[in-house]
Structures are given as C-alpha cells and as structure tokens.
Amino acid sequence: MGWIVSGARVLASAERATDPSSRRKGLLGRTSFSGALIIEPCNWVHTIGMKFAIDVAFVDRNGTVIKTQRMRRNRLGIPVIGAAYVVEAESGAFSRWGLHVGDELEFRGQQPDTSENK
C-alpha cells in the first residue's frame, strides 16, 4: 500500500498489481474503490465483469500520463502505444484529483513483497 503523487500533491492511496494474478484480477469483484490501482506492466484494460465504471490513466516509463479515459462497465479497451502501466480509479476520481494528460506521477510507499518467505 502506498500513495500516488503528482508533484507536491498526494492524489490517492494506491495499491499495486505487479504479479500476473493480481494484474489479471485488477478491480474485478469489487463493488467500489476509493483509491487507485496501479497495474504494472500494462498498456490496455477491459471492464468486462466489472461492477462500476472506471477512470484509466495510461502512463509511460517516465511517469507521464499519456492518455486518460473513462470506461463504462463491460467494455474492451485498445492497447495504448508507449504505456508502461495504468492507473485505475472509480469513475469521476480523476476529475476530483485534477489528473490530466501530461501530469507526472510517482508511487510512494511500500513495494510489494516478492520474496519467497512471506
């Protein structure tokens, strides 16, 4: 768990999905989500089976937001060339956070434990 930050602004608490299982699951099965989910690596998403609409930011390797979009439920997205990871949040979150294309993002907080001895 950590935070997603843009400049001096903390936008939201954040979870990271970096292993195949957590990336595949994403926000599926949740009925709402108050923070941000970072899926890494990732350059496309879908909302098939989701219970709510989401905002998606596609971010390049330098942390720059290169595209944002709002996706309704049960939609299939297309890959975004140049995206290294995505940030997902409940629909309307990006407007509240003031997140726009060109913003620089950074994850701060705990890195996931990938050790064999959990």
Please determine, for residue 84, whether its predicted confidence score (pLDDT) is greater than 80. yes
How many domains does the structure of the chain reveal? 1
The alpha carbon of 112 is separated from its chain's Cα centroid by a whole number of angstroms, namely 15
| 118 lies in some domain | no
Q: Which residue has the higher pLDDT, 65 or 110?
A: 65
| 116 lies in some domain | no
State phi, psi for 18 to the nearest 5 degrees: -120, -15
| 114 lies in some domain | no
Across 20-24, 63-67, 81-85, least confident range: 20-24
* Rounded distance between C-alpha atoms, residue 44 and residue 56, angstroms: 9
| 48 lies in some domain | yes
CATH of the domain at 66: 2.60.120.1140
| 103 lies in some domain | yes
| 28 lies in some domain | yes
* Rounded distance between C-alpha atoms, residue 19 and residue 7, angstroms: 27
Average pLDDT for 31-57: 94
Q: Count the helices and strands in the chain (H runs, E runs).
A: 2, 7
Q: Which domain holds residue 10?
A: 2-109
Q: What is the pLDDT of residues 49-58, one digit of tens each?
A: 999 999 999 9
